């Protein structure tokens, strides 16, 4: 799900290891002591992977687009 774009550049996807990030965050905090932390990790990993899939699909279907410029074109009055 990590992506970036600027007003002058199209959207770009960047790989990110969500599982490693969650494991590191939990392992290095008091969260590891909570009884529900395994369920919490599974739930958030599922959410992150689903959202990541949507971003990849969007970029695949709309290569070279810029969401900000698309929004400006759709409703120019909003940005006056």
Number of domains in the chain: 1
pLDDT in tens, 31-66: 778 888 889 899 999 999 999 999 889 888 888 888
3-class SS string, the chain: CCEEEECCEEEEECCCCHHHHHHHHHHCCHHHHCCCHHHHHHHHHHHHHHHHHHHHHHHHHCCCCCHHHHHHHHCHHHHC
Parent domain of 69: 3-79
What digits encode the pLDDT tens for the residues 14-28?
888 999 988 888 887
C-alpha to C-alpha distances, 53 to 8, 12, 63, nearest whole angstrom: 25, 14, 15
pTM of the model: 0.69
């Amino acid at each position: 799900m990590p992506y970036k774009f600027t007003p002058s550049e199209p959207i770009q996807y960047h790989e990110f290891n969500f599982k490693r990030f969650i494991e590191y965050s939990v392992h290095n905090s008091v969260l590891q002591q909570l009884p529900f932390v395994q369920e919490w990790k599974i739930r958030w990993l599922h959410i992150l992977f689903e959202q990541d899939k949507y971003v990849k699909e969007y970029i695949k279907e709309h290569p070279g687009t810029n969401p900000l410029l698309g929004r400006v074109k759709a409703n120019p009055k909003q940005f006056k």
